[in-house]
Amino acid sequence: MLLAAPSRLRPLRWTAMSSPVMRSSLSRSLDRSLATLLATGALLAAVEVALLPLDGPAGPLLVGFPVVFVIYLAAGLLAWYRRPSNRMGGLIVFAGFAVYAAGLANTEIPVLVATGTVTSTLALATTVHLLHAFPSGRLRGRASIATVAVAYVTSLVFEAPSYLFDPAQSPEAGLAIADRPDLAAAGGLVQQILGVSVMIATATLLVRRLATADRAHRGALMRLYGYGAFAVIALVLIPNVLGRALGIPGLLTGIMQLALLAGIPIAFALAVLRGGFARTGELEELGSWLGATGGAKPTLATALANALGDQTLQLSFWVPMRRAFVDEHGVPLPATAPVRGRGTVEINLDGRLVGAITYDSELIGDADLVRTAGRVVAIAVDRERLTAELRASRIALQRSRERLVDAADLERRRIAQDLHDGLQVQLVLLGIEAQQLPNAPGSADVLAERATRLRMGIDAAAADLRRLVHEVMPAALIEQGLAAAVEDLVDRMPIPTALELGQDGPCPRVVERTAYFVVAEALANTVKHARADNASVRLNKADGVLRVEVRDDGLGGASLSGGTGLRGLVERVDVLGGTINITGSPGQGTNITVELPCV
């Protein structure tokens, strides 16, 4: 079934829906190269079959080598076609050529026999290489690199004593340089020790990777690693245990070994294409995507996920005004600590940060591949970023308006409560006093004293009313502007407060009102909570921006979540498109800085 797979290959489609097929010129070139490699491999397999002595009893076994080679070739090319940016397909093809070379030892041509004898155990090393390189096709970490290197040395170097010092081992190859069975036995012992060491190291590393893998990948990895490790061990034990200890004929044990070898490329190809690891296309397909039109065109994040073969890929957009990343809907993304198995690559356009790609670093071992994909779609990302920024601004504006309505309702309720609990009670009591005054007994002096107290009560009520009106909208701000109103606030501060004015012309009234309430709320917090000894206020207008800065040397520790007053300021500032920043650690005072567009 696997041999027929290439004939059913279809060009990459972005979605399961009907959409135009997009293949770049480089993709088509790759297709032709893989087709040429498949044809060349099939021709080599046919040549090997022609050179094998198939008329003897071992014919079924000997023909198995080219058959297994073709299975490796087909599986590797299939994985290579479906995931060109992944190296697993090329490694599977390379492992197939190792099997092909080993099969040459069964021919009757001395140079080919010698080649097969030298590479007789190379398939074991390539299988170890595949296990360590899965799923990206790259070796990760020094331990894996060292283990695979030892595996190749064990298969090629320490296999040499068996044919160099034992002429009886492979007389047709003509490779023997001396008849030293002791050296051959010593080399075989070292090879066995190193082989066991390689398997122990491989098992340890694979178990560690399984332990750190996420749930989505663990099942596929466990099946693949389990079969691969079993195949490597069984390939060594079958001839030694079943053949020598149990006396099973060599023909049968050989067929069993070839069957295990044939299962290795199938297992790896299925794991690459189906086992929880998504298929991919080429980066060049992104260029075709950029030029595509129509409703069937997928989103940019989907196109990147398909191109890189990572369906867990996340695309985020940088919003400079908020100094934060948002998703495609404009929703701010929380800052998170680095996660094992996840990598992040920033996308820059003309030196500007426009977005970032978060991907599965276990699946995509080459960060440069992701970085290249980001460069290909940088312009599209910037366009999507502007859209996401607009959505984020719209969402923030809507929420800000809702919070402003809530804040206005709370302020109206506070004013009503103050009028009801304070001024209204005062006026009711004064009214009762005025009503009783004409009929009150006593001398004229007593009546005059009561009238004086009544007048003082009326004056106090009037003062409370003026204070309440001043809090709602100060007269100085309306009549004389921001500088005079802030100066009045500073003059009434109970602690020494410095004022620095650097304004250059007036600002719109709504901006001045917001700036005034920023100063008023900040100074009120200084008096009520900060326990400060000194404070300062600075107003400055430059380049169309009004900058307001309020400092104190109090307790510090203020935050935007500390109370309704500061949160109300944030809403006022945000609705005007300004920024607010509060700094100051406990014991170091507080600094509130606000910038408002004065246009």
**DSSP H or E stretch at residue 348:** strand 342-349
Q: How far apart are CA 432 and CA 165, in angstroms?
A: 126
In a 3-state reduction of DSSP, which class is residue 322? coil
Q: How far apart are CA 509 and CA 161, in angstroms?
A: 94
Strand partners, 317: 326, 355
CATH 1.20.1070 domain position(s) in the chain = 29-273
Amino acid at the residue 185:
A
∠ CA(118), CA(87), CA(290), 5° rounding? 155
Give residue 419's pLDDT.
63
Q: Is the pLDDT reported for residue 309 higher than 90?
A: no
Q: Mind listing the pLDDT tens digit for each residue in 69-115?
A: 999 999 889 888 877 767 888 999 999 999 999 888 888 888 888 89
Q: Of the CATH numbers 3.30.565.10, 3.10.150.10, 3.40.50.800, 3.40.50.300, which one belongs to the domain with range 482-597? A: 3.30.565.10
Return the structure tokens found at 508.
């719109």
**DSSP H or E stretch at residue 370:** helix 367-376
CATH 3.30.565.10 domain position(s) in the chain = 482-597
Q: Mind listing the pLDDT tens digit for each residue in 500-523?
A: 887 667 788 888 888 888 888 888
User: What angle, rounded to 10 degrees, do the helices at 215-237 and 250-273 form?
Assistant: 160
Q: How far apart are CA 102 and CA 123, in angstroms?
A: 8
Q: How far apart are CA 457 and CA 423, in angstroms?
A: 11
Higher-pLDDT residue of 429 and 598 is: 598
Q: How far apart are CA 411 and CA 383, in angstroms?
A: 41
Using pLDDT thresholds of 50, 70 and 90, give the confidence band for residue 287.
low
Which of 26-35, 219-228, 273-282, 507-516 is predicted least confidently?
273-282
Q: Mind listing the pLDDT tens digit for each residue in 110-157?
A: 888 889 889 988 988 998 998 888 877 888 889 999 999 999 999 999
Q: Mind listing the pLDDT tens digit for each residue in 414-471?
A: 666 666 666 666 666 666 766 666 666 666 666 677 777 777 777 777 666 666 665 5
Give residue 150's pLDDT.
93
CATH 1.10.3470 fits 29-273, yes or no: no
Give how far Cα 413 sits from Cα of 22, 408, 573, Å: 63, 9, 22
